[in-house]
Chains A and B, each alone.
Chain A
Amino acid sequence: MGRGDQLAAFEQLVLLALLSLEGDEAYGMNLRRVLRDEAGRDVSVPTVYSALDRLEAKGFVTSRLGQATNERGGRAKKLFRVEPAGVQALQEGRLTLEAMWKLGGLAGPS
C-alpha cells in the first residue's frame, strides 16, 4: 500500500464507525453521532463528509443516493458502504500499530 493509501487516524475512526452502521443508517449524520458517542469526537458534518470523500477517492468506501424525503427538504440521503479494500486497509493499519506497540515495549492492543 502506497503512502497515499494509508489511513489517517480520523479516517480509521470513520471507517470503523461506518462498519457499525448498515443500509439506510450508514449516512453522514449517523456517522457523526457514532463518532461523538463512541469515540468522543464531536466534529461537524462537513468534516465527516470530507473524510468520506477522501476515503471514496482512495476506493475504501462507495456511496449511493438514498431516497429523498420531505423531512430532508426533498434532498436525498447519501449512503456509504465500506469496500473490501477499506477493510483491508483497516486491518493493515491495525497490524502496523500492533507491531509498533511491541517495538515500543508496551503491551499491544488486545
Chain B
Amino acid sequence: MADSSGVSGTQPPKRAEAILSRLLPERDRGPILGDLAQEYAAIARSHGVEAARSWYWHQLTLSVLPAMRRRLGRRHGRGSKGTLHERNPGSGLGVSWLDVKLGLRMLVKQPALNLVVVCALAIGIPIGLYPDHLVRLLEAPLPVSEGDRIQVLRYYDVENSRAGLPTLDDFAHWRDEMTTFQAIAATTLGNSYNVISDVGGAAPVLGAEVTASMFDILRIGPELGRTLIPADEVASGADVVVIGYDLWQARLAGDPEVVGRVIRVGGVLRTVVGVMPQDFYYPYRDQLWLPLRLGEVTLAQGRQRTHVVFGRLSDGVSAEEAETELVTVAGRTGSGDSESMARLQPQVVGFMTGLIGEDKAGMRANPEFFMMKSLAMLVLIIACGNVGMLIFARTAARTSELAMRTALGASRTRIIAQLFTEALVFAVLAAGIGLGVGDLVVVNSIGALTELMPYWLDVGVTVRTVIWGLSLAVFSAAVVGVVPALKATGKSVHRNIQRAQSGRSGLRFGGVSSVLIAADVAFAVASVGAAVVLSSALTDVEDTMGTLPEQFLSAELIIPPSPVAEDNTPARIAVIQEEVIRRLEAEPGIRGVTMASLLPGMDHRGQRIVLDEEPIGQDVRAHRVAVARVDPAFFGTFEQPILAGRGFDSGDLGEDRSAVIVNAHFVEHVLEGRNPIGRRLRYATRGEEAPGPWYEVVGVVETLGTIITNTDPAMYQAVYHALALGETPSLYLGIHVGDDPESFAPRLRTLTSEVHTAAMISNPVRLSDVVSFTRMGTMIMVLVSGTLIGIMIALSISGTYALMSFTVSERTREIGIRTALGAHRISIGFTVAKRAIAQLAVGILIGMPVAWVFFEETQPSEIPTQSPYLLTVLVGGGLMILIGVLACTAPTLRALRIEPTEALREGV
C-alpha cells in the first residue's frame, strides 16, 4: 500500500537510495531502484523494517564496485589503445584506477609529510563522525523482532525538561485500558540480588523484576523450561525465578536438571522455572528475572526503585496514535494533583529514548548536540585546512609536471581529478586508520563501563559508520585536493612552463596563507592552554593517606528491604550492620573496621555551606565542601590523628547530631587559618527554603582523599558528620586487612551471608584501586583530548613550517636581485622575517584571548587562572615563535647563498 505520510519503513533509506542513484547508469537507474524498492517493501512486511534496512544497505555495498566498473569501462572504452594524449573523461566521477595507483605511490614519497597528513585526517574524520554515531547508537531499537515497534510509555515534565517514571498503578491502568498496544510490561532497573549457590558462594547478580508480558513483547523464548507467566505475578504465587545462561553455566555448573532446582536469591528460596538463551541480558546486563508483584514490597535492592513501562504497538498502529490514546487514558487515571498532571505530559517514545530519559525529539534537537556536532566539524575543517595547506605546498613543487601534462593535452578537469584522487587515497586510508583505532579505543574504554551499558548497544564501528566515514573522506579529499588543485591549475600553460623552467611555481598563497598561518598559531596557543588544563587533572590529588589505602579492602554492604515490614526499621538494620562489624573485628588478621557513607579516595558529594559570622541573605557567601558521614571508629581505623578538638563519640550519635569534624584544608581555605573549634556552619538553601540546623565544629583532622581527580580542589575541604548504624541500609565498609586485602573478599561475602542471607557485598576492591566513574570518564577524556591536542599542535607546527618555508623559497629570485643591487644581508633577512613576525604576532594575539576564555570556562572559581594562563601564553607563544624562526631561517640562508648573477640569469 502506498505510503506518503511515512508509516515508517515502507520506503527505502533515502541516503542509500541517493548514493545508488548517483552510482547507477541513467539507462537502468529507474528499473533497478524500483526493483530494490519493491523488494525492500516486501522484506519490511515479512521481516521488519530493520531487516529491510540492513538488506538495502547490503545491496548498496554489493552494487558499488560493479557500478563503478561499468562507469569506468564506458569512459575508457574497452579495447582502446593508449596514446600519449590524455583522455578527457567528460562527465562522471573523473576517477581512474591509474590515478588511484599514482595516489598510492605518493604515499611512499615524503613519508614525514604524509604521516602528518594521514594522522590529521585519521583524527578529524572519526571526530567528525562521532556525534552522529552517538545519536544512531542511542536511537537504535532493541535487537528483537520488529524492535522499532517496542515503545516506552512515560511522563515528561515539560517545564523542567526531564522524564518522569509512571507509578505501578499507572502501569496497571494502562495495561488494562490501552488498545493500541498488543501488550504492556513493566520492569525494574538497576537492581542486584545476592545469589547463594554451590559454585562461587554468595555474590550479587544483576536482575530485574518484570511482568510476564515482557517475554511476549520481546518475543524471546527460553533455552530451558519456561518464562514467567501471569500466575507468577499473583502475590500468593510460588517464589520462582528465571535465570540467565551465564548464571546457569557459571554458578550452577550448567546443570541440565536446573529447572526445578531451588536457589537462594536475595535471601528468598526460589524455584528455577526457566533458563534464557545465551546473549539475553534484558534490560541491561541482567541474569535474573523475578515476577513483579504489584502492591507488594519486593526484594528489589538498590537505593531507589526505578522501572520502565513499555509495550509492543499493535499492528498498523503508529506511535503517534498510541500516544493520543495514552493522553486520554492517563487523563482519566492519572495520580497526583491537577497542577502536576498539567505539567507531566504522557508520551510514547522509542525504547532507548525512554530508557535514558532523553527529550522526545531526540538528541538531535538538543542544543548541546548541535554544539558538539559543530565542534566536531570544526575540528575536521581545521584538520582539512591544515592538510590542504601542506598538500598545496607539495602541489606547488609539482608545477613543472602539471605544466607538461597540460601541454600534452590534459584538461584542467583531468588534472584536478588526479589530484583529488591522490587526496582521496590519503583520506580513505586515514578514515580506515581513524575508524579502526577509534573502534579499539571506544570499545576498550567503554568496555570498562560494560555494566552500565545496555547489552544490545554496539558501540563499535558499524557498516553505516564506515559508509559515513567514507563520505567524510570524500569531503575531506575535496577540500584538501580540489581546492589546491584549482589554484595550481589556474594559470596559462605558457606561463606555467616558463615558471617551471625558472624553478618557480608561480603560485601565491596570497592573503589566504597569512590567515591560515595566523589561525594555526592561534590554535596552537589555545591547544597548549587546553593541554595545561588537562594535565592538572592528572596530578596526584592532595591527601595524607600515603600507602595506607593499599592495605584496606573497600566494599559496599547493602541490606535490601525485607518482605516483613518490621524488619525494615533502623534498629533492625543497625543490628545487622553491628553484627557484621563484630564478626569482622573478630576475624584473625583484621586490624580495624569502619563504616561510612564514603571512604577516602572516593568522589565525595559537594554541598554549599555558610559560616556563622557571615551575613545571611542575598549576599551570603557560600563555600563548597565535600561531605561524608562516618562512624566514630573512622579516623582511628585510618590512623588519622585528631589535630585539634576531639573525634566523634557515642554521644554524637543521639538525637542531637550537631557535631561535625572538618579537615585541615577546610581550616586553611574556608576559615583562613582561624580557630575552627566552636565555629558553626549550616548548609546553604535555595530560594524560599527554610534554613537548616546549625552544626558545631568539634574537631579537626588531616586532609583525607575526597576527590579522585584534581579538577576541583574546592572539594579538598571536607566536613564529616557522625554516622549511626541503621541510619541507612547501604554503607561502605573500610576493612584494614594488610597485605593483599582482596584475598579477604570471599570470606567477607560468606561472613555477611551468615549474618543475613539477603545482605549483599558489592564491589569488594582494594581501596587504592577504587575507580569512580568520574575518574574513568576524566581519564578517557584526558587520553582522547591529549592525543587530539598533540596531533593538532603537530599539525599547526608542520602547517606553519611548510607555509613559511615555501613562501620564503618563492622569494629566492627577489633575494638574489636585491643582493645584486647591494642590499645588506641583515636588511634582507629582516625584510623576509618581517612578514613572518607579523603573522606569528597576529596568531598569538588571537590565541591568547581564546586560551583565556577556555581557562575561565573550565576552571572552578576557586582556582586562580593567572599562573597557568601565563604559562600557556609563554609556552604556546614561545613554541610558535621558535617554529617560525626555524621555518624562515633555512630557506632564507639558502637564498642568501645564491650568486646574484644566477638569480638574474633566471627568465622573467
Contacts and interface: CB of A to CB of B under 8 A. Distances in A.
Interface of A: 27-29, 43-47, 49-50, 53, 65, 68-73, 75-78
Nearest to B73: A50
Contacts of B11: 73
B35 A77 contact: yes
Contacts of B28: 46, 49, 53, 78
Contacts of B644: none
A53 B32 CA distance: 13
B305 interface: no
Nearest to A74: B34
Contact of B59 (A45, A65, A71, A72): A45
Given A50-B70, A71-B2, A73-B11, A45 B27 contact: no
B36 A29 contact: yes
B33 interface: yes
B67 interface: yes
B39 A29 contact: yes
A36 to B, nearest CB: 12
24 contacts: A28-B31, A28-B35, A44-B62, A44-B66, A45-B32, A45-B35, A46-B28, A46-B32, A46-B63, A47-B66, A68-B34, A69-B38, A70-B2, A70-B3, A71-B10, A71-B38, A72-B34, A72-B38, A73-B12, A73-B33, A73-B34, A75-B31, A77-B34, A77-B35
Given A73-B11, A75-B37, A76-B31, 4 more contacts: A27-B35, A47-B66, A75-B31, A76-B30
B116 interface: no
Please list the 4 inter-chain residue pairs (A to B) with the smallest Cβ-Cβ separation, ordered nearest first: A70-B2, A75-B34, A78-B31, A72-B34
B62 to A, nearest CB: 4
A50 B59 CA distance: 15
B32 to A, nearest CB: 5
B615 to A, nearest CB: 72
- Looking at B1, B27, B33, B37, the one whose CB has the most chain A CB atoms below 10 A away is B37
B59 to A, nearest CB: 7
B41 interface: yes
Given A29-B36, A71-B37, A77 B31 contact: yes
Nearest to B65: A44
Contacts of B36: 29, 45
Interface in B853-880: none
Contacts of B27: 53
Nearest to B11: A73
A32 to B, nearest CB: 8
Chain B interface size range:
20 to 34
A49 B27 CA distance: 10
Contacts of A43: 62
Main SS class of interface, B: helix
Contact of A46 (B2, B39, B66): B66
A45 B63 contact: yes
Given A27-B31, A77-B34, A78-B31, A44 B59 contact: yes
A68 B3 CA distance: 15
B789 interface: no
Contacts of B34: 68, 72-73, 75-77
A71 B35 contact: no
Interface string B644-678: 00000000000000000000000000000000000
Contact of A75 (B30, B39, B67): B30
Contacts of A29: 35-36, 38-39
B70 A46 contact: yes
A52 to B, nearest CB: 8
B35 A72 contact: yes
A65 B31 CA distance: 9
Interface-central residue, B27, B33, B35, B70, by most chain A CB under 10 Å: B35
Interface string B41-73: 100000000000000000100110011001000
A77 B32 CA distance: 8
Contacts of B308: none
Identify which of B34, B36, B70 gathers the most chain A CB atoms within 10 Å of its CB.
B34
B206 interface: no
A75 B33 contact: yes
A65 B41 CA distance: 21
B840 interface: no
A64 B67 CA distance: 22
B12 to A, nearest CB: 8
Contacts of A50: 66, 70
B67 A46 contact: yes
Contacts of A73: 11-12, 33-34, 37
B265 interface: no
A37 to B, nearest CB: 14
A70 B39 CA distance: 13
A81 to B, nearest CB: 15
A3 to B, nearest CB: 13
B140 to A, nearest CB: 26
Contacts of B63: 44-46
Contacts of B322: none
Nearest to B29: A75
A18 to B, nearest CB: 14
A71 B40 CA distance: 9
Contacts of A65: 31
B596 interface: no
B42 to A, nearest CB: 9
A93 B264 CA distance: 75
Nearest to A79: B31
Contacts of B32: 28, 45-46, 49
A69 B38 CA distance: 9
B24 interface: yes
B18 to A, nearest CB: 12
A6 to B, nearest CB: 16
A45 B32 CA distance: 7
Contacts of B41: 71
A50 B28 CA distance: 9
B37 to A, nearest CB: 5
B97 to A, nearest CB: 18
Which of A44, A47, A69, A78 gathers the greatest number of chain B CB atoms within 10 Å? Answer: A44
B466 to A, nearest CB: 18
Contacts of A76: 30-31, 34
A70 B66 CA distance: 28
Contacts of A77: 31, 34-35
Contacts of B66: 44, 46-47, 50
Interface string B876-893: 000000000000000000
B74 to A, nearest CB: 11
A23 B62 CA distance: 28
